[in-house]
Structure 1
């Protein structure tokens, strides 16, 4: 496609539109992140995404109940780290995760789930706030209208529930935290604090201190009752040690949570579903016609899930393309695509090479021409669909490569009228 839009004009419009949005990272790592462009979905497509999200969420969350009943050895086979095992069955809420995100792809066979980001999903500010701004800019209907208010309500509900279970009667000290130096993490966390609309403060991670067996304290020495850690993954937390003393402060924090001296959201239970190996359990039980899932649930698994195994033999036998991905990995890091024994392409980063590999049937992401500040570009489209307290909520699009990585764009989405 030839450049049919004026680049200078486009850059100015983009700069003005996104410049009006407070505390938003429309450029990341000195590169364009948020596109001044819009993709369209029909109302039916939006409804289908939310129905798929609800069904997929129900399958995952039901599986969480099963995983808690499994012995430690089995959980280790799903790559659940040894260090988390003493804490992994702790249940702070009736729901597995307060905020989780289902990554979906539209295929010729309908919507398919690639993975569930249950522990520390980002993309909230883009979906629940910024998308609406850009829809207004382009004069189109926002598929996420009203969902920011619902997000705030559900966050307050989760906080009230966790405080009730923790038997807190006095005014709680609530702290939202993230790495201060990471712009996206910090402003995502501050956005969630804002929509939660509760008495709370933001304290960067490095300013929190732990007194072993007593509590977690903020930058002013006040004891924290509730810690909201939306962008701080548990697999990183369990490895945290104090630089000076060598104390395992991450483990000490989890000990505080499990002894009810600290309440934490997302809860520990969210991490149980973070391993992509969980999808091999779901697919395997469906193939075995296991009675754990109802007939309806098995139909949903066949409809929305992709064949997923802990070995690649089945894909080679059937001569299917397949994806090799780490059970705990992020942003496409350490992901590769194969056909038989031939590696077709791979992500250049190898951060998660130590993680248990999971093998999933390959599906082609749909292609769309997008407007960037440098001209038209062909990109692959991935759908991010949020589950808030287990219910389908806001949706957003990312535009990038076949392996969606850290360089993918945020592509606003509107409803086709």
Structure 2
């Protein structure tokens, strides 16, 4: 690539505070823009609203099934009491759907209901890039809605422990630039009277409470980037299961967390196997209209591979809990592996098998020149309602080395 791209990109992103245009020593945020029709963005948001409705509805059912069913779906046994808690009206405050454009519609490959990132990029940075390129931001005005959503979720969570002046703490791993700055961004736009306390500085007393580094009891913990499935294995230097202690505090009402427990219930990719199974049976749990939505927007998903061997269809094997393409593998209908992410962090979790469809091809500009890549769409749900839309480009498996491709509306479209 000519030095012009590199210079323009460096100059532009260097002016944006507390952002991470590069990750893991590689270019992440592109100095390029994708232009979309406003009608197409409306279709994405309509699809996302319907998909979100299906996910949130099945949450009610999952809270009522036997423990054995939840264990078969791959939920860690230690989380079962936590899973049944319903602490907020919305099942997830901030969730992100990953979508693939397919045959003039969209397919949902997963929902990150518990700890989605890609937030600051779409709600804040995207508008800056659109201004730089002189186009309309397709997420115009949604940053305010995001701040209000975070604010309202914490206020509602405060009513659970019935604290008049609750101590609110936002937390993240301090050494992760992306996690830390995402959480600090949410803290800022929420306008809440709160503090940021790095995860390693939090202190916990079994059955009593969670405290900040000064020994002040915390009433509400905003944990946008701290996954529950990782938390349950946390131990202190003495071998105490401090992660489980934290879940016990939530269960006993001594601590409120956002995203709420129901977001972790939805995080499990096996939920899509439940949805598809109910759809296959034409189960009355879903209405005729909802079955139509599942047929259009969901992919055949199972807890075993037999369907794909019989149908000779290619499929994706992914862990029930996992992020950024980690531990994802792609197979042909004969069981031959054709692609796999090099990371295998989540191989101990229950496997989920989903029909494979190709990500659409796209051409984009980067420091490496003009490249061909595969396009993945992200659409956020704020309390279940569709909000910011954005794009990642990379390989067939979208991982932590995939690029962020800013996007705007085609000229003359609102």
Question: Partner of 2:8: helix, strand, or coil?
Answer: helix
Which whole-Å CA distance do the structure 2 matches of 1:54 and 1:118 have between them?
Answer: 14
- 2:124 maps to 129
Q: Distance in 2 between matches of 1:257 and 1:353?
A: 28
Rounded Cα–Cα distance in structure 1 between residues aligned with 2:211 and 2:27: 38
Deviations, residues 315-344 of structure 1 (Å, cap 9, x unaligned): 121111111111111111111111112111
| Aligned equivalents of 2:40, 2:325: Cα separation in 1 | 26
Contact 1:323 1:362 in 2 (8 A): yes
Select which of 75, 78, 85 maps to 1:80. 75
Q: Which residue of 2 aligns with 1:207?
A: 201
- Separation of aligned partners in 2, 1:205 and 1:260: 20
Partner residue in 2 for 1:406 = 400
In structure 1, what is the Cα distance between the partners aligned to 2:330 and 2:304? 14
Deviations 1:364-392 (A, max 9, x none): 10111111112111111101100011110
Within the alignment, does 1:263 sit opposite 2:256 as a pair? Answer: yes
TM-superposed CA distance for 1:86, in Å, is: 2.1
- Residue 107 of structure 1 deviates from its aligned partner by 1.3
Write out aligned runs for 1:329-344 (5 A): 329-339=322-332, 340-344=334-338
CA deviation string 1:209-267 (max 9, x = no partner): 00111111111111111100000000011111112x21110111111111111111011
Quick one: which of 102, 112, 129 aligns to 1:117? 112
TM-score, length basis structure 2: 0.98
Partner of 2:167 in structure 1?
Answer: 173
Contact in 1 for aligned 2:161/2:219 (Cα 8 Å): no
Match of 1:311 in 2: 304
**2: CA distance between counterparts of 1:347 and 1:28?**
18
Q: Which runs of 5+ in 2 are unaligned?
A: none
Matched, 1:36 2:35: no
Give SS of 2:46's match: helix
CA distance in 1, matches of 2:339, 2:118: 26
Q: Could you tell me the TM-score, scaled by structure 1's length?
A: 0.97
2:100 to 105, 123, 130: 105
Q: Which residue of the partner structure matches residue 3 of structure 1?
A: none
- Which of 340, 345, 353 lines up with 2:347 in the alignment? 353
1:190 aligns with 2:184: yes
Contact 2:204 2:210 in 1 (8 A): yes
In the alignment, is the contact (CA less than 8 A) between 1:7 and 1:374 conserved in 2? no
Q: How much has 1:108 moved relative to structure 2?
A: 2.0
Distance in 1, matches of 2:383 and 2:26, equals: 34
Q: 1:158 aligns to what?
A: 153
Which residue does the alignment assign to 2:53? Answer: 58
- Asked if the contact 1:100/1:387 (under 8 Å) is kept, the reply is yes
Deviates more, 1:338-347 or 1:118-127: 338-347
Which has the higher mean CA deviation after the structures are superposed, 306-315 or 404-413?
306-315
Does the Cα contact within 8 Å between 2:160 and 2:256 map onto a contact in 1? no
The aligned counterpart of 2:243 is 250
Counterpart of 1:393 in 2: which secondary structure?
Answer: strand
Q: How many residues align?
A: 410
